[in-house]
Amino acid sequence: MKKGIHPRYVLAKVVCGTCGNTFMTGSTRPELHVEVCSNCHPFFTGKQQIVDTAGRVERFTRRYQKTADKAAEKAAATAEKTAAR
């Protein structure tokens, strides 16, 4: 292994931006900032927490609602046709 070309591996402080939790790990940087850590991630906590970015959740809900409404109308029309026979 050549000397002087590899980064130093140091003990790094990791800071979570969502919950403020801090812990130590090894890295080539002395401090790391993460958006979600294992202390606040829904997979590890079992709690559903939606991190909304610029209204994307509402936009998805509106789009899905339109699709569900169209499907319900189509099902009602089909039911009327079969009942009329």
Residue 71 in tokens: 């499907």
Q: Say which amino acid occupies 27.
A: S
CATH number of 1-49: 4.10.80.400
Residue 65 in tokens: 């609602």
User: pTM of the prediction?
Assistant: 0.47
Q: Per mean pLDDT, which range of 21-30, 54-63, 64-73 is the poorest?
A: 54-63
4-35 residue pLDDT tens = 899 999 999 999 988 888 999 999 999 999 98
List the strands of the sheet with 31-34, edge to edge.
22-27, 10-16, 31-34
